A and B are shown apart, each in its own frame.
Chain A
Amino acid sequence: MRAALASGWSTLQSLAERRLPALTRLKRAEALPILLHRRRIYVVPSRFGLAYSAMLLVMLIGSLNYANNPALLLTCLLGAAAYLSVFTAFRTLNRVELRSIKAHSCHAGDRLPLTLLFGSATRARKHGLWLRMENGEGGSATAFALAADGVQTVEASLPAPRRGWQPIGRVRVWTEHPYGLFHVWSWLHPEQSALVYPRIESNAPPLPQGQGDARAQIAARDEDEFGLLREYRAGDPLRQIAWKASARRDHLLVKQFESRRGHEIVLAWNRLDGLDAEARISRLAAWIECAESAQTPYRLELPQTRIDAALGPAHRHACLRELALMPERAS
């Protein structure tokens, strides 16, 4: 019953979007930054607002019936404060700006973590703002607040079922500040997409042997072998941090593996016979992660492109991106 109602509602919504573009035009994707203003902010009484106005009506009739003017004054005062709170609620959402969205890396099947940066274009502080990703099934609403002229990052997440570019989708932002009597909301629909890396094959077989003896390299790995230490950069794996050396300085140092050239491994599409395209992509993605954690340079060979052997976040990203953007029906 509930499911039927929900599907009926979404059908109605999509029909409305097709038929009444003027009403729903703000649901179309648009470029960042998105500034909320009066032409795209909607106001309805909340459920509590309806219940409270019913109570105010009872109080009004009661005080009129008993011809009790102080009680009437109290009712009027409460009613006026309640009613005027709609303007405060509107002003809370008015001129809130979504400035940027940062999508973090994620593999298909995981949740895609997002960081949204909101800013306020007014001098007033804004409390009691809520945000929910429209496509974020199961994701709960997140509360946030903005200082005067302030910015605030909000963490959210989306399910990422498929590799490739995934649109962020609609973001619903609302507030019931100050008294919870009015629901003031708006849609944000940034035309931004996030790259979802391919799914990682679980229990993937070990890395293929390269031209050199990568396995021996790993086995012989020893702390003395590292030629260089460099400063930590965002994205370096934790296991690569030289803790002992870092403890002597006041910043983190990272072990740099030099002179691995010649011991690289090749991750080739064509050598994975007997697997369908998606399985190959998953296998290759798993191997990339594996090689990264083993600090073995790797080369990626795909039907249409080839990426020379290297190591590090940029290389990993380039390889995973190629895999993520492989056509659906690769032969």
Chain B
Amino acid sequence: MSGPSPILTMRQFSWVGAAVLAAVLAHAPHLPAIITALALALVAASWLHRRRGGSALPGWIKLVLIAVFALVLIVQYRSVIGREPGSALACAMLASKLLETRTRRDALAAICFASFTLMSALLFDTSLAFTLATFAGVVLLLAALRELEPQAVTAPKPASSLRACWPTLRASLISLAIAAPLALCGFLFIPRLDSPLWRTPADAGARTGISDTMSPGSVQNLLLDDSAAFRVDFDGTPPPRAQLYWRGPVLTDFDGETWRRRETGIAPPDAREATAGSAAIGYAITLEASDKPWLFALDVPVDIPAETQRGRDMSLVRRRPVTELFRYRARSLPDYRFDRDLSADLRAATLALPGGFNPRSVEQGRSWRRELPDDDAIVRAALDLFHDAFFYTLSPPPLGRDSVDDFLFGTKRGFCEHFAAAFVVLMRGAGIPARVVTGYQGGYFNPVGDYLLVRQSDAHAWAEVWRAGRGWMRVDPTAAVSPTRVEFGAQAATLGERTWYRGWWLATRNRIDLVNHAWNNLVVQFNGQRQRALLRPLGIDHIEPDTLLWLLIGASGLMLVAATLWAMRTSRRRAAPLDAAYDALCGKLARVGAPRSDNEGPLTYARRLRVAQPLSQRCASEVQRLFADYVGLRYARAFPPMEGIVEFARRVRRLRLETRS
């Protein structure tokens, strides 16, 4: 309506504040701490300011706020374009909006913007738990809107303020529950875009995961990270655990400290040199967002997903980084042969050792070459060395400049990256082409959901050696030290190092992960392709986008018709309580044989009853009193008091009529 917008009450302001707070908190997990702290401080300040009276703010405060936020944003991001800085900007603006919120109109604007901010938080985390948390924020938004409407003036004030919130929250929850079918219909039938309308610059390096370099300690953080890396649905029975090597980037170049990936070019299409009789394993992988282009596949992939290159080293690289959950299919051959003929440059690269590093290790390799008859014996000698004298631990002692020397001849304690690096250095020293392969090993098989969950903590590094006539062969030196690592995973291999509850917690989480997998498969991965196949159970293989629109219109139309019928439902016109009670009185009299005739008003009727005396003495006087009261209530005043009507109705209900016998 026109005219100045009404000033909010403290209660209304608190509701709006709560909704804004929820929207800002939803961004807290990914925002830099300083921005979260500033926004939260601003929300608190607005609340305190409003509590103290909430006069309009002078302009300079707003200017200072804008300057502070602009400064922080520029220092943090150097840009305001993109998801990260954009969301930080939105949070800052939302919190500032709350500070100047005084009237209902301000509050509506704040809630409108808070809805957007809350939704944009889902761009950073699509897990089930987080989505449910944002839905709680939706409840708060709706409750705040509800509070902005005038409430019943006569409502009794409940004792505690928390209890006072409940009716509003409950009403919002109910309206969300009612909206769920319509929302679901929109979700199923709104046509998905096949390619995005715009794309913001990706934010690189924000997430943990396997990278294309390996330096001492780089895998260590991953091994302690329990978050999911990917989930696998196998077409048939899953292969044995010892075969579950998920191949990632292959690291060839070593500078003494860091292992790096080497561009090897695209594998020729005829690179599959599978041995006959080996069955390919088909599976689908749902990869969590990693912000990196690496895809993982069982050693070694033969059929690869679209938009993906398979390098000569059999690692998969997608054209663009995986910035959201990505599901792909692949097929692998567990029994493989490739690169039977090694090119000269690749041979040189996989034999290269940095000069001046790890002299003792290189010398050890050379001595094996001199003393042992063939490559097989050298490989076995190295594995035996590890098996006899080395320990697997996730917290190894620090290593010096010649890290491999220190490890092999000093500490003798480490985990996969130490073993793989040391093994490759030994092999190259002995003149056998070798390289490091990174990826994941193992995973937790969820028998209920029939899928394999691979966590970041399953990250692994192993080695590959080249043998004339055989091609590249996988050798896992870690398995020689700690077979449990391969059989049961890194967590089990370090059993003594972790606390009891951690193991229990992980086991529980492995089971609960079923829900996440279902959520990812059913909701997060519901893309255009899956949408078009929606009606496959009904025999329709492919739905066109315009058919989808018709489906959307039809299904939501049906629901709206149902809602309209509900809203229009005309209940029997209910008589005013006083008339209803009077009708009941007349009905009782009719049942004892003294019905009111249509032309009688209450006074005439009462007079007739008095004269005819059909009732017993006691009843008759009560009936006369009732008629007198009815006339008094009905005709004496414009607005009869409610208590009088209730009392009258109660007395009519209690009335037991006896005829004069």
Cβ of B193 and Cβ of A87 under 8 Å apart? Answer: no
With a cutoff of 8 Å between Cβ atoms, the chain A residues found around residue B108 in the complex are 48, 51, 180
With a cutoff of 8 Å between Cβ atoms, the chain B residues found around residue A218 in the complex are none
Cβ of B118 and Cβ of A74 under 8 Å apart? Answer: yes
Cβ of B149 and Cβ of A59 under 8 Å apart? Answer: no
A64–B154 CA distance with the chains assembled, in angstroms = 45
- What does the 1/0 interface line of A13-41 toward B look like (CB < 8 Å)? 00000000000000000000000011000
With a cutoff of 8 Å between Cβ atoms, the chain A residues found around residue B193 in the complex are 64-65, 67
Q: Quote the shortest CB–CB distance from B140 to chain A (angstroms).
A: 12
State whether the Cβ of A245 lies closer than 8 Å to any Cβ in chain B: no
Q: Which residue of the partner chain B has the closest CB to A127?
A: B152
With a cutoff of 8 Å between Cβ atoms, the chain A residues found around residue B153 in the complex are 143-145
Cβ of B179 and Cβ of A127 under 8 Å apart? Answer: no
Cβ of B176 and Cβ of A71 under 8 Å apart? Answer: no
Q: Quote the shortest CB–CB distance from A184 to chain B (angstroms).
A: 11
State whether the Cβ of B377 lies closer than 8 Å to any Cβ in chain A: no
When A69-B523, A81-B142, A90-B567 are in contact, do A74 and B122 touch as well, CB less than 8 Å?
yes
State whether the Cβ of B180 lies closer than 8 Å to any Cβ in chain A: yes
Cβ of A128 and Cβ of B198 under 8 Å apart? Answer: no
Q: Quote the shortest CB–CB distance from B646 to chain A (angstroms).
A: 11
Q: Quote the shortest CB–CB distance from A69 to chain B (angstroms).
A: 5
Q: Chain A contact residues (Cβ within 8 angstroms of B): what range? A: 35 or more
State whether the Cβ of A199 lies closer than 8 Å to any Cβ in chain B: no
Cβ of B150 and Cβ of A70 under 8 Å apart? Answer: no
With a cutoff of 8 Å between Cβ atoms, the chain A residues found around residue B568 in the complex are 38
State whether the Cβ of A55 lies closer than 8 Å to any Cβ in chain B: yes
With a cutoff of 8 Å between Cβ atoms, the chain A residues found around residue B134 in the complex are 70, 74
- Contacts of A40-75 to chain B: CB distance below 8 A: 48, 51-52, 55-56, 58-75
Contacting B196 at CB < 8 Å: which of A38, A59, A66, A176? Answer: A66
Q: Quote the shortest CB–CB distance from B95 to chain A (angstroms).
A: 18
With a cutoff of 8 Å between Cβ atoms, the chain A residues found around residue B570 in the complex are 37
With a cutoff of 8 Å between Cβ atoms, the chain B residues found around residue A64 in the complex are 190, 192-193
Cβ of A59 and Cβ of B197 under 8 Å apart? Answer: no
Q: Which residue of the partner chain B has the closest CB to A97?
A: B576
Cβ of A94 and Cβ of B567 under 8 Å apart? Answer: yes
Q: Quote the shortest CB–CB distance from A270 to chain B (angstroms).
A: 38
Cβ of B179 and Cβ of A122 under 8 Å apart? Answer: no
State whether the Cβ of B512 lies closer than 8 Å to any Cβ in chain A: no
When A67-B196, A180-B148 are in contact, do A122 and B571 touch as well, CB less than 8 Å?
yes
State whether the Cβ of B18 lies closer than 8 Å to any Cβ in chain A: no
With a cutoff of 8 Å between Cβ atoms, the chain A residues found around residue B564 in the complex are 87
With a cutoff of 8 Å between Cβ atoms, the chain A residues found around residue B176 in the complex are 77, 81
Q: Quote the shortest CB–CB distance from B105 to chain A (angstroms).
A: 8
A86–B566 CA distance with the chains assembled, in angstroms = 12
Contacting B186 at CB < 8 Å: which of A38, A80, A88, A127? Answer: A80
Cβ of A61 and Cβ of B197 under 8 Å apart? Answer: yes
With a cutoff of 8 Å between Cβ atoms, the chain A residues found around residue B523 in the complex are 69-70, 73
With a cutoff of 8 Å between Cβ atoms, the chain B residues found around residue A79 in the complex are 183, 186
Q: Quote the shortest CB–CB distance from B156 to chain A (angstroms).
A: 12
With a cutoff of 8 Å between Cβ atoms, the chain B residues found around residue A252 in the complex are none
When A78-B115, A84-B175 are in contact, do A66 and B123 touch as well, CB less than 8 Å?
yes
- Contacts of B152-205 to chain A: CB distance below 8 A: 152-154, 171, 175-176, 178-180, 182-184, 186-187, 190, 192-193, 196-198
A38–B126 CA distance with the chains assembled, in angstroms = 43
A64–B193 CA distance with the chains assembled, in angstroms = 6
Q: Which of A146-154, A160-168, A187-195 contacts B (4 or more CB under 8 A)?
A: A146-154
Q: Which residue of the partner chain B has the closest CB to A55?
A: B112
- What does the 1/0 interface line of B227-245 toward A look like (CB < 8 Å)? 0000000000000000000
Cβ of B179 and Cβ of A84 under 8 Å apart? Answer: yes
With a cutoff of 8 Å between Cβ atoms, the chain B residues found around residue A76 in the complex are 182-184, 186-187, 190
State whether the Cβ of B573 lies closer than 8 Å to any Cβ in chain A: yes
Cβ of B573 and Cβ of A87 under 8 Å apart? Answer: no
State whether the Cβ of B498 lies closer than 8 Å to any Cβ in chain A: no
When A80-B180, A121-B573, A128-B149 are in contact, do A52 and B112 touch as well, CB less than 8 Å?
yes
State whether the Cβ of B64 lies closer than 8 Å to any Cβ in chain A: no
Q: Quote the shortest CB–CB distance from B11 to chain A (angstroms).
A: 15
Cβ of B149 and Cβ of A70 under 8 Å apart? Answer: no
Q: Which residue of the partner chain B has the closest CB to A122?
A: B571
With a cutoff of 8 Å between Cβ atoms, the chain A residues found around residue B112 in the complex are 48, 51-52, 55
9 closest A-B pairs by beta carbon, nearest first, are A80-B179, A80-B182, A143-B150, A145-B152, A81-B179, A76-B186, A76-B183, A71-B122, A80-B183
Interface positions of B (Cβ within 8 A of A): 1, 3, 108-109, 112-113, 115-116, 118-120, 122-123, 126, 130-131, 134-135, 138, 141-142, 145-146, 148-154, 171, 175-176, 178-180, 182-184, 186-187, 190, 192-193, 196-198, 324, 523-527, 563-564, 566-568, 570-571, 573-574, 576-577, 638-639, 642
Report 19 cross-chain contacts, Cβ distance below 8 Å, ordered by A residue: A51-B108, A51-B109, A51-B112, A61-B197, A64-B193, A66-B123, A71-B122, A74-B118, A75-B119, A76-B186, A80-B180, A81-B183, A100-B638, A122-B571, A123-B574, A128-B151, A141-B1, A145-B150, A179-B145
